[in-house]
A and B are shown apart, each in its own frame.
Chain A
């Protein structure tokens, strides 16, 4: 089959057997990781949380084509909202997740009303500006957010009143894995629905979508709001599991790293968000432990390799390998 055709093959059927196997394998890998790396549960939990954020970014950028470098605004809003809710109102984890989701969605909706009227570089700049403004507010409002010291004093109640968060991070890991699985299934359903298909259609041709009756601007706002809710869940999880929210949750670095993870994995496929995050964070973890000052060289080289040799990301690697195996000089 021609490469161009293969690259353009549909990539997100709802429940084909092949994808079901892949989904089950991914969940199995998540479960296996708990037993294989019992001393790294904190790191693994951070990976799971980051996957949620990158999945959210994939919905925005990979599916709808909204270029953003300010996704941390949505993640951080969820984190601060869930943290403040836990400190001041209720430490119930599930309620906190809901609060984080709402906070992310509200920030996405309000900022999206402005952002999504812009395009390309203007949109990028505005998305950065939103995150910077929120970070500045969080920094200045020390009495509420803890400022540069971070929001402290978060102590979560047991999940369902049964499963208490432990020092080793076992409960946190299962909690994050369960939430990630639920988010992933939800996103799979959404991207295969007419709503998700419209997002892809807008990405390919907004004008065409308008001409077949889709209110493009409001659809983009809806997608951005939904992604805000997902990122907010990620932020809330982060606050609950680490019991800390720092200004970094709203920082530019987080947005940029999420984008790199998505590019590494591959845009517009959901699975790319998972693989990209795992690859980036694992390399970061290993390279930083070897050389804490120059680990970014490794990431930089990896990005260059992907951009030049795997433009579809690591998710396109099997297709590339098959093509190479068929190739004969």
Chain B
């Protein structure tokens, strides 16, 4: 199933990928345009995180191609993908516990130019910049993980369940951050999220995966108007609030 959007920033064509010989993704083709907010959802274990990891080069690509800004990406190692403008906020956060907040932010950098921007986005991190990674709460760790990814100034930000396990107030704050990041239309955000309400609130477009395949894509408005889509593919309805 293909998604056609004008001015694609990130494109995948029939990608099949997984871990070793185990194939998780089957012929996934998608296109994400500049400034777009795409939500990817689906049940557990359907390949959502694998899709993001594949875009980042952290899985084994068996077939297909990936392009960023029209340039071939799938032949590049992960660090070159990051330098090309792709940024992944992993589900596991992967904070370096032996480093302080500031050291975590600087660990992938050649200079400290971007650090004030990260602190402006997350003032809490500036307050805790001398604290060790292990001393942070889950929400702070997530802020740090996002800020560390942003230090590389990515054009396309891949967010792998960034709100998982966080208190509602932190989720709200992070959602504000995501909207701010997308506000000027310069960045593209791809959010993997199982909280359907949050995915619907966040995205312009939704994509549902099942068994490593795209089983639905379309404007978020379509899903809002027809909740049976979610029931059909995920077995969930939209909660009445």
CB-CB contacts of A190-204 with B at 8 A, as 1s and 0s?
A: 000010011011001
**Bound-state Cα–Cα, A268 to B100, Å:** 15
Shortest Cβ gap from B110 to chain A (Å)? 6
Q: Which of B58, B83, B97, B98 contacts A207 (CB 8 A)?
A: B58
Chain A residues near B108: list those with CB within 8 A.
Answer: 194, 198, 201, 209, 212-214
A interface footprint on B50-73 (CB within 8 Å = 1, 0 otherwise): 000000111000000000000000
B135 at the interface (CB under 8 A from A): yes
Per-position 1/0 for A91-129, Cβ under 8 A of B: 000000000000000000000000000000000000000
Task: Give the complex CA separation of A208 and B87 in angstroms.
Answer: 11
Knowing A4-B134, A194-B106, A194-B111, say if A10 contacts B99 (CB, 8 Å): yes
Q: Is the Cβ of A10 less than 8 Å from the Cβ of B79?
A: no
Q: Is B90 interfacial (CB 8 A cutoff)?
A: yes
Q: How many residues of A contact B (CB 8 A)?
A: 25
Among A194, A204, A207, A215, contact of B96 (Cβ-Cβ < 8 Å): A204
Instruction: Indicate if A11 sits at the interface (CB-CB under 8 A).
Output: yes
Most buried by B among A4, A9, A13, A205: A9
CA distance in complex: A204, B90 (Å) = 15
Whether A19 is near chain B, meaning CB under 8 Å from some CB there, is no
- Chain A nearest Cβ from B155, distance in angstroms: 13
- Known A-B contacts A211-B56, A211-B88; the reply to A200 vs B133 at CB < 8 A is no
Residues of B within 8 A of A (CB): 56-58, 77-80, 82-83, 87-88, 90, 94, 96-100, 103-104, 106-112, 130, 132-135, 148-149, 151-152
27 pairs across A/B with beta carbons < 8 Å? A8-B97, A8-B134, A8-B135, A10-B99, A13-B100, A13-B130, A194-B107, A194-B108, A194-B110, A197-B106, A197-B107, A198-B108, A201-B104, A204-B98, A208-B90, A209-B79, A210-B79, A211-B82, A212-B82, A212-B87, A212-B107, A212-B148, A212-B149, A212-B151, A213-B79, A215-B77, A215-B80
